[in-house]
A and B are shown apart, each in its own frame.
Chain A
Amino acid sequence: MTVAEMSLSGKDKTVVKAFWDKVAPKTAEIGGEALGRMLTSYPQTKTYFSHWSDLSPESAQVKKHGATIMGAIGDAIGKIDDLQGALSKLSELHAFKLRVDPANFRILAHNIILVLAMYYPADFTPEVHVSIDKFLQNLALALSEKYR
């Protein structure tokens, strides 16, 4: 089921940018937390990280990589009008080198959303949730662009 074709409205972009500015101080932590949760709750995702020694949520490797991912997402928000262009290199990486099944992008997105809701229960309203969900889906679509 691909629902990622629902493109971002002007309002979505505004909401996403505003919310990201608010959460900016904690994005690294949120990323580490989200990745840790993904690996714990969806253990099949661990197969992509078999080269790490520690896949627990407390792992330094997990936290660092979560921060990296959130950094890339933040960059993409800066180029939100051309996600495909912004993610071109990362798409090649995921398609040809990492070979991550794109179905997993949704799983990570779910965990990012969950952690955002935990850290910002008042700010992560349903309206913000819709726009962030749409954005992450569009991001995933751009990330899968080079696969085939």
Chain B
Amino acid sequence: MVKWSDFERAAIQDIFSKIDYDVVGRAAFSRCLIVYPWTQRYFGSFGNLYNAAAITSNPKVAAHGKVIMAGLEKALKNMDDIKTTYKDLSVLHSEKLQVDPDNFNVKLFSFYCLTIVVAGQMGAAFTPEVQGAFQKFLAVVVASLRKQYY
């Protein structure tokens, strides 16, 4: 089971209380689609993703950014058992959506784009220690999403 220090719990709760889910979700998800364009593979039904401008103004992208943030909020509210909380989501990603699990792990939405957008929003308040706590949270989320793959 994951152990959270008091600092980590407080830091992670604080981040989520400070960020605008709509803005951050949309910014992070569109950045992911732009910077790592092979991720567009999973969003064939989203319409126009031809360039950065199209992606950032695409309403389906914005809507999906919200979906992702809602998923993260679930983890936030169940920090002591994210693995169980995410069981269905993991099955969804592996069996129905068939997302390459490497996509969660390596750079993409989870670690990089979301962290970068949150850092941009929070500025100096996003200290190295807060960054560490947030990255640990996302690492647990990623591990839980991968759990149900074969």
Contacts and interface: CB of A to CB of B under 8 A. Distances in A.
Contacts, number: 56
B74 to A, nearest CB: 24
A37 interface: yes
Q: Describe A's contact surface by its main secondary structure.
A: helix
B52 A41 contact: no
Contacts of A125: 52
Q: Describe B's contact surface by its main secondary structure.
A: helix
Interface string B116-133: 110111011011110110
Contact of B52 (A37, A126, A133): A126
A110 interface: yes
Contacts of A121: 120-121, 123
Counting contact residues on chain B (CB < 8 A from A), the size range is 20 to 34
30 contacts: A1-B102, A36-B128, A37-B128, A37-B131, A40-B128, A40-B129, A40-B132, A41-B132, A57-B128, A110-B107, A113-B112, A113-B116, A114-B116, A114-B131, A117-B119, A117-B120, A118-B120, A118-B123, A118-B124, A121-B121, A124-B120, A126-B31, A126-B34, A126-B55, A127-B34, A127-B52, A129-B34, A129-B116, A130-B34, A130-B35
Given A36-B128, A113-B116, A124-B120, 20 more contacts: A40-B128, A40-B129, A40-B132, A41-B132, A114-B131, A115-B119, A117-B119, A118-B119, A118-B124, A118-B126, A121-B123, A125-B52, A126-B31, A126-B52, A126-B55, A126-B56, A127-B34, A129-B31, A129-B34, A133-B35
